[in-house]
Amino acid sequence: MIFVDRVEAGRRLAVRLEHLRSEPVVVLGLPRGGVPVAFQVAQALGAPLDVIVVRKLGLPFQPELGMGAIGEGDVRIINRELVERTGVTEREIAAVEARERTELDRRVKRFRGARAGIPLHGRTALIVDDGIATGSTARAACQVARARGAARIVLAVPVAPPDWKARFAHDADELIALQTPRSFSAIGQFYLNFNQTSDDEVVAWLDRGAHMTPPRAPEGTPDGNAKGGNAKGRNAKGGVTETGGTGGGGSARIDTDIELQAGAVRLTGRLTVPEGAIGVVVFAHGSGSTSHSPRNRYVAGILDKAEIGTLLFDLLTLDEEHDRAKVFDIELLAGRLVAATEWLRSQPRVAGLPVGYFGASTGAAAALWAAAEPGADIAAVVSRGGRPDLAADRLEVVPTPTLLIVGGHDEMVLGLNRQAKARLRCENRLVVIPGATHLFEEPGTLHAAAEAARNWFTIHLAARVTPAPIDLTRRSPQGAVSSHRPPWGLSSREAL
């Protein structure tokens, strides 16, 4: 299992932690990387979010080996057996503690500001990190939470080494990891985006957590989501089931699981629409891929930051995924993509937004086929490592601006895309990502493809949005009227 980033890891972890909803939980994120994961967990559980700042006390002559830990409120834990065995003096312990206490106080002030820490006495301390490696900080956090009076300790992470339960058996009452792979060597190998979390980002997540409200129950549930947010409710057309959505109205952010009817089958997916979105992109997954594909989720995350909504759903049911005839039935896939588009346009909160298609592998052919349907009115199509050639004679009648993205080392697919480009009569462009193979697994190549897709969608979705009147009272420091403009250029190398 590969996570797109810490946000996605937190959302997946939250599902595993639903059984804690009935307990008096306080979610404690370990800074820095654990805090964005913890935010998603706290939001899903409707629990308060705090940070647990701890400092390991390392031996004076071997700092990586902890002889104890300190936490807020003068909490101090010393491993007396180790201290006696190594001959460390009280004066040496005091010197290490003074140095670490200074850093701990600085971090507490930086992360929490004027907010007081949430009391843990008699409550369940749910300690969350982005993963376990050596585990020294997580172990110290468990000990500090216990010393602060927590009645129960739960340590939860997206990924940990296979032996982690044996190592932490005496530190926490419950240990939860989404995966414990044998091939574990570092936490970052299980994330597409494992960029370091800054202090400012930690503060921003905690600020959001301080003002967050529990998830709103879907309409038609009498108990206000009392059973963990899994209650279901249909819209007036009976076409959607939402779970765990953020609720709200107007242009507020939408982030919810959905089900939609496509002919005789019901398909699942996730709809995410940022506040003020300029459009929504429907993802058409290719052969061997699903709505959980980390590559598609990574691209969706890039689009989200550009104020573009996404609908990731599975074109085939679980049973159908193993039927190769259906995997390559482009007309069937396109029909379901059309059904998803019709469903999307029937939803009041996104009605009127322009729609784009993002297709990978056979999904790219389905996207082009669907875009060629009479009255489809699709604003833009992007194909990543796609097979547009499988759209056959439909290529000549596609009216939608189309961007073809192919890896430079994906030679066979690159040749097929060049042939397809020659048949397209619409506005089109071919972008070749240097060094990329079919799955864009090489460092930086997926990001380059995502940026190219983002720019293409920004151009063509924004062109469909009625521009707002310019506010002449907003001026730049130089006195010129300022306005938001999309990034019109493509950042990747273009092969025309």
CB 473, CB 480: distance < 8 Å = no
User: Using CB atoms within 10 A of its CB, is residue 322 exposed (0-12), middle (13-18) or buried (19+)?
Assistant: exposed
Would you place residue 451 in the very low, low, confident or very high pLDDT band (cuts 50, 70, 90)? Answer: very high
**Range from 151-155, 178-182, 248-252, 334-338 carrying the lowest mean pLDDT:** 248-252
% of the chain exceeding 70 in pLDDT? 84
Rg (the chain; Cα; Å): 26
pLDDT value, residue 496:
32
Cα 191–chain centre separation: 11
**What does the pLDDT look like over 220-246, one tens digit per residue?**
333 333 333 333 333 333 333 333 333
Would you place residue 269 in the very low, low, confident or very high pLDDT band (cuts 50, 70, 90)? Answer: confident
Would you place residue 38 in the very low, low, confident or very high pLDDT band (cuts 50, 70, 90)? Answer: very high
Cα 348–chain centre separation: 25
In degrees and rounded to multiples of 5, residue 347 shows phi and psi of: -80, 120
The DSSP 8-state label assigned to residue 121 in this structure reads B
Helix (H, G, I), strand (E, B) or coil at 177: strand
Structural domain spans, the chain: 6-210, 254-462
Residue with the bigger pLDDT between 117 and 396: it is: 396
Q: How many helical (H) and strand (E) elements, i.e. helices and strands, does the chain have?
A: 13, 16
Would you place residue 437 in the very low, low, confident or very high pLDDT band (cuts 50, 70, 90)? Answer: very high
pLDDT value, residue 183:
83
Average pLDDT in the 389-404 region?
95
Residue 388: CA atoms inside 13 Å, Cβ hemisphere, count? Answer: 34
pLDDT value, residue 212:
67
Q: How far is residue 269's CA from residue 257's CA, in Å, rounded to a whole number?
A: 6
The sheet with strand 174-179 has its strands ordered as: 49-51, 25-29, 124-128, 152-159, 174-179
Topology of domain 254-462, CATH:
Rossmann fold (3.40.50)
Is the CATH number of domain 6-210 3.40.630.30? no
Taking 90 as the threshold, does the pLDDT of residue 282 lie above it? yes
**Range from 161-175, 266-280, 478-492 carrying the lowest mean pLDDT:** 478-492
Can 6-210 and 254-462 be said to share one CATH topology?
A: yes
The DSSP 8-state label assigned to residue 214 in this structure reads P
Residue with the bigger pLDDT between 199 and 382: it is: 382
Would you place residue 179 in the very low, low, confident or very high pLDDT band (cuts 50, 70, 90)? Answer: very high
pLDDT value, residue 429:
95
Average pLDDT in the 409-420 region?
95
Q: How far is residue 374's CA from residue 104's CA, in Å, rounded to a whole number?
A: 64
pLDDT value, residue 474:
38
Give CB contacts under 8 A, 24+ apart, made by 419-425: 419/389, 420/388, 420/389, 420/391, 420/395, 423/395, 423/396, 424/388, 424/395, 424/396, 424/398, 425/396, 425/397, 425/398
pLDDT value, residue 289:
52
Taking 50 as the threshold, does the pLDDT of residue 492 lie above it? no
pLDDT value, residue 148:
87
Taking 70 as the threshold, does the pLDDT of residue 4 lie above it? yes
Taking 50 as the threshold, does the pLDDT of residue 385 lie above it? yes
The DSSP 8-state label assigned to residue 428 in this structure reads E
Would you place residue 131 in the very low, low, confident or very high pLDDT band (cuts 50, 70, 90)? Answer: very high
**Range from 170-179, 195-204, 236-245, 436-445 carrying the lowest mean pLDDT:** 236-245
